[in-house]
Amino acid sequence: MNTLLSTYNSLKAARAPWESWWDTLRHYVLPSRRDEDDGAAADADNRHQLGDTTAVEACQKLAGGHMSYITPSHELWFKWGSPAPDAGDEAESWYNRCSEIANRELALSNFYTELHECFLDRVGLGTGSLYCSTTRSGRLLFRHIPCGQFVCAENDEGSMDTYMREYSCTPHQAASQFGEKALGPRAKALWQDPRQCHEACLRMLHVVRPRRKRRRDRDDARNMRYESIYYSLDDQQVMEEKGYHEMPYMVTRFLRWGEGPYGLAPARLVYPDIRQAQFLNRILDMLGELAAFPRILELANQVGEVDLRAGGRTLINPESASLGFPREWATQGRYDVGLNRLEQKRDSINRAFFIPMLDLWSERKAQMSATEVYARENERVMLFSPSFTLFTSDFQPLMERVFALLFRLGRFPQPPSTVLSKDPLGEDVVEVPHVIYQGRIAQVMRRLQSEGIERTLQRLQLLAGMDAGVADHVDLDRTFRLSARLDGVPEEILRSQSAVKRLRRQREQQVTAAIQQANDSPVAQP
């Protein structure tokens, strides 16, 4: 276990440069998020220190945009497809049926509640994490892991394969999860104490990493692909050692930040503007207060005699009247200049959080034509495409995990032979499906691909007029089916490839029969 702790401490040291930025961004972007590392109380007290909430609102809006336009709970936002392009219609139909079942199971679980918290971390801090498992009753179970509570590492392919999470639990929770026999001396003493059983805090470490030595002919917990170790940091002993078939933790980044496994948040790019917005808002508040409650310059012998109430009367002597006292003093300021600068900073913050893209969908102008809407969608979604592409890559392990869990729970129908393959031991296994996202952002990106196909076909038609042989470069059947799927055409309205071949064969037979009949008929005499 010394090696395990050494690895954990090494990964914590590598994470240190990000921690200061996370603390800073929490203050300005996620003030309600608590710092889980040091167990501090909720950071709600920081809210009154914010002079401007533009970044807070933008973070909430972009996280909500993730829920509405990437993973909408009210729509089938993804579907599974066969990883083999020529698997056939039977395989595609089975994977599509599994997609419908999975969407229903996700809706019955706590997936969307925890996913929103994960998206808040992804948008606000650059890195979000989610844990996926099952309940004792056989339902999917998800848990958001706050940013800063875990360390992780990537393999040579850039995929996260090592995850270590430090968390706290009560003695009662530890005994419920691991059993009384697994508790160490301190944990057992606290558990047996009625006053401490539900209040004391135990420090735990959960480690998930690839298992280096395992027997591939066995499928027990000690021989699964990933090893799972629960370690008590208080008692310095292993509480439980099991395994997972798939990585149960998912880590998603908003953008890549250097070579590390953690992400870059939009607020990091416009951090100076966020600070300036705080300062300018306080200045404008001060100018507004001066305009509403101006400074008054009065003579020393008038102290206590000036009535500042509405309709108040102040008696002054001739000396004061000749000097113009009392009067306003030092109340001038360029409120318009400060407001213009503040609006510039707010606009910069909103653009960093892709608010113009979200506003285009939520506040579409009636005077805009469909062509103009599509053009603006294409422009703004293309700017967001690096983050969306990274999301699909980071989300793939979670989708594989959900598929595998539901399959082992028996939620899916019997798989056809076309989706089976042989593992190294010669056993039949279901191939991991390809994920096709169907949210609003995914649709726009597919539309861009579809427009590229249309331009290619138009060019092909032009060139075919000069040389008919150029059409041999394109498989028109595959092109049409791909274009239809990119446009979101339901699979039900597309004939299967076997049905298309049968229809064409019948048509050829009819033409052949018609020609034969024409050849066999006697020539009419004049």
| Structure token digits, residue 219 | 């499928």
Residue that is last in its domain, among 330, 354, 380 = 330
Burial class (CB in 10 A: 0-12, 13-18, 19+), 36: middle
H or E stretch covering 130: strand 127-134
Burial class of residue 348 in the structure, from the number of CB atoms within 10 Å of its CB (0-12 exposed, 13-18 middle, 19+ buried): middle
Decide: 421 and 382 in contact? Cβ < 8 Å: no
- Whether 206 contacts 165, CB under 8 Å: yes
Residue 48 forms part of a structural domain: no
**Is 396 contained in some domain?**
no
CA distance linking residue 367 with residue 373, whole number of Å: 10
Q: Where are the alpha helices (DSSP H) in 125-179?
A: 171-178
Establish if 432 belongs to a structural domain.
Answer: no
User: Which of 314, 330, 346 delimits the end of a domain?
Assistant: 330
State the Cα angle at 336 between 333 and 342, rounded to 5°: 110
Q: How many CB atoms lie within 10 A of CB 280?
A: 22
Task: Return the DSSP state at 246.
Answer: S
Q: Terminal CA-to-CA distance of the chain, rounded, Å?
A: 105
Burial class (CB in 10 A: 0-12, 13-18, 19+), 457: middle
Place of tokens 């078939």: 245
Tens-place pLDDT, residues 427-459: 778 888 999 999 989 988 888 877 777 788 888
Residue 367 lies in a domain: no
CB 214 within 8 A of CB 224: yes
Predicted pLDDT at 300: 65
CA 201 centroid distance within chain? 31
Contact 86, 93 (CB under 8 A): no
85 preceded by a cis bond (ω within 30 of 0): no
Domain count, the chain: 2
73 within domain boundaries: no
- State the pairing for strand pair 127-134/249-253: antiparallel
Nearest CA to 28 among 261, 353, 386? 353
Task: For residue 505, tell me if it sits in a domain.
Answer: yes
Q: How many helices (H) and strands (E) does the chain have?
A: 15, 14
Can you give the pLDDT of all 526 residues of the chain as single tens digits? 678 899 999 999 999 999 999 999 999 999 887 544 444 444 444 555 788 899 999 999 999 999 999 999 988 999 998 888 777 778 888 998 999 999 999 999 999 999 999 999 999 999 999 999 999 899 999 999 999 999 999 998 888 999 999 999 999 999 999 999 999 999 999 999 988 999 999 999 999 999 988 777 677 777 889 999 999 999 999 999 999 999 999 999 999 988 889 999 999 999 999 999 998 888 888 777 777 677 777 766 667 677 666 667 776 777 666 666 776 666 666 777 778 888 999 999 999 999 999 988 876 655 677 777 778 888 888 899 999 999 999 999 999 999 999 999 999 999 998 888 877 666 778 888 999 999 989 988 888 877 777 788 888 888 888 888 888 888 887 778 777 766 666 666 777 777 888 888 888 888 888 888 888 776 544 4
The β-bridge relationship of strands 150-154 and 160-169 is: antiparallel
pLDDT for the residue numbered 16: 92
Asked if residue 384 lies in contact with residue 441, where contact means CB atoms within 8 angstroms, the answer is yes
pLDDT for 290-326, tens place per residue?
776 777 777 666 676 776 666 677 767 776 666 667 7
Range of the domain at 508: 489-519
| Per-residue model confidence (pLDDT) at position 201 | 93
Q: Is 308 part of any domain?
A: yes
Q: Which of 287, 311, 330 is the last residue of a domain?
A: 330
Is residue 219 a part of any domain in this protein?
Answer: no
Distance CA 112, CA 133 (A): 15
